[in-house]
């Protein structure tokens, strides 16, 4: 634990000191609004959507890039080194101290803001877009078994192989939850190195069902089917911009309006489509600007 604290502290100091390249740092008066992302591609894409939307309202922006995991980003926000980040509702709520996964977006959003207020942070409008766990089978398997919901797996799970991240057997939102909430016990668990591996393992029949994420680029393929989480094991994971309250007070609607507009327009399907483009190598700024232009959130 001590080593983790030292690493986290060093990372926060790095964010405070330089961010990406030679960009200025310090308070938002010096550097404009500092937008950061977690250390994965989708988060960087969301940060770019926010950054360009803010710039369209003449708000100066500093892009801090992929800062790190939530254990780094959250303290950096509280310590006034980051101003804006795209959060995931349920995961942010858990990090803020909630012990019960909440599948209801509205009540989870209220709870999150209650917990963020003492930290001088505020969550703005929820997006319809979510990135959460989903159980996936091939379309062929779904059609053959008439599978639509996770509950439909009860009659077949004991003869099926399930694939997912290596930590899945110990996670309450993965195999632990599938057993406790749905009563599912699979014959075998096959650890997967990535979502790409999971999708191919499904197609090759190496696994019968797998855990993926709703916004994953791999789910654009028509031969994969998400099963409905009918007993609501998974918490709401709507994407939501979290902002330092000082920044909201300083910039007012120039900051809140564009961020809320991005939230209102973004859907899971559109986020997935953008993730596909990024995965194929399209530049993140180009993908973000194309989406913003299509939704009239950016001047041509």
Q: How far apart are CA 115 and CA 201, in angstroms?
A: 40
Model confidence pLDDT, tens digit, residues 162-196: 999 999 999 999 999 999 999 999 999 999 999 99
User: What is the β-pairing status of strands 224-227 and 133-138?
Assistant: antiparallel
- CA angle 23/81/106 to nearest 5° reads 120
C-alpha closest to that of 133 among 171, 79, 99: 171
State in Å, rounded, how far the first CA of the chain is from the last one: 50
Residue 29: the pLDDT is 54
pLDDT by residue (tens digit) across 106-125?
999 999 999 999 999 999 99
Question: Please, how many CA atoms are within 13 Å of residue 149, restricted to the half-sphere of its CB?
Answer: 9
Report all structural domains of the chain as residue ranges with CATH numbers, in order of start: 2-130+236-294 (3.40.190.10), 133-227 (3.40.190.120)
The HSE-up count of residue 170 (CA atoms within 13 Å, CB side) is 2
Tell me which residue has tokens 């003492």. Answer: 118
- Non-local (6+) Cβ contacts of 193 within 8 A are none
pLDDT at residue number 299: 78
User: Would you write out the chain's pLDDT as a tens digit for each of its 300 residues?
Assistant: 333 333 444 444 455 554 443 343 444 456 699 999 999 999 999 999 999 999 999 999 999 999 999 999 999 999 999 999 999 999 999 999 998 899 999 999 999 999 999 999 999 999 999 999 999 999 999 999 999 999 999 999 999 999 999 999 999 999 999 999 999 999 999 999 999 999 999 999 999 999 999 999 999 999 999 999 999 999 999 999 999 999 999 999 999 999 999 999 999 999 999 999 999 999 999 999 999 999 999 876
């Amino acid at each position: 634990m001590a080593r983790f604290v030292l690493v986290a502290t060093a990372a926060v100091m790095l964010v405070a000191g330089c961010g990406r390249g030679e960009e200025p740092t310090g308070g938002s008066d010096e550097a404009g609004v500092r937008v950061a992302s977690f250390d994965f591609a989708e988060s960087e894409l969301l940060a770019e959507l926010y950054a360009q939307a803010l710039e369209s309202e003449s708000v100066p922006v500093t892009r801090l890039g992929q800062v790190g995991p939530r254990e780094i980003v959250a303290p950096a926000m509280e310590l006034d080194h980051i101003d804006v980040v795209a959060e995931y509702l349920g995961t942010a709520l858990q990090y803020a101290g909630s012990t019960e996964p909440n599948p209801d977006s509205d009540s989870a959003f209220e709870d999150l803001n209650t917990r963020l207020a003492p930290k001088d942070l505020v969550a703005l409008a929820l997006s319809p877009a979510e990135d959460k766990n989903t159980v996936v089978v091939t379309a062929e398997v779904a059609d053959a078994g008439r599978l639509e919901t996770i509950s439909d797996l009860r009659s077949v799970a004991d003869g099926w192989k399930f694939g997912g991240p290596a930590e899945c057997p110990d996670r309450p939102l993965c195999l632990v939850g599938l057993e406790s909430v749905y009563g599912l016990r699979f014959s075998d668990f096959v650890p997967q190195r990535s979502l790409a591996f999971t999708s191919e393992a499904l197609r090759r029949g190496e696994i019968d069902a797998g855990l993926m994420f709703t916004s994953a680029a791999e789910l654009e393929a028509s031969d994969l089917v998400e099963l409905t989480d009918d007993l609501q094991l998974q918490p709401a994971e709507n994407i939501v911009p979290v902002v330092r309250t000082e920044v909201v007070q300083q910039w007012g609607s120039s900051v809140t309006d564009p961020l809320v507009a991005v939230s209102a327009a973004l859907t899971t399907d559109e986020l997935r489509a953008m993730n596909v483009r990024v995965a194929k190598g399209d530049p993140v700024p180009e993908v973000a600007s194309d989406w913003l232009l299509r939704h009239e959130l950016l001047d041509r």
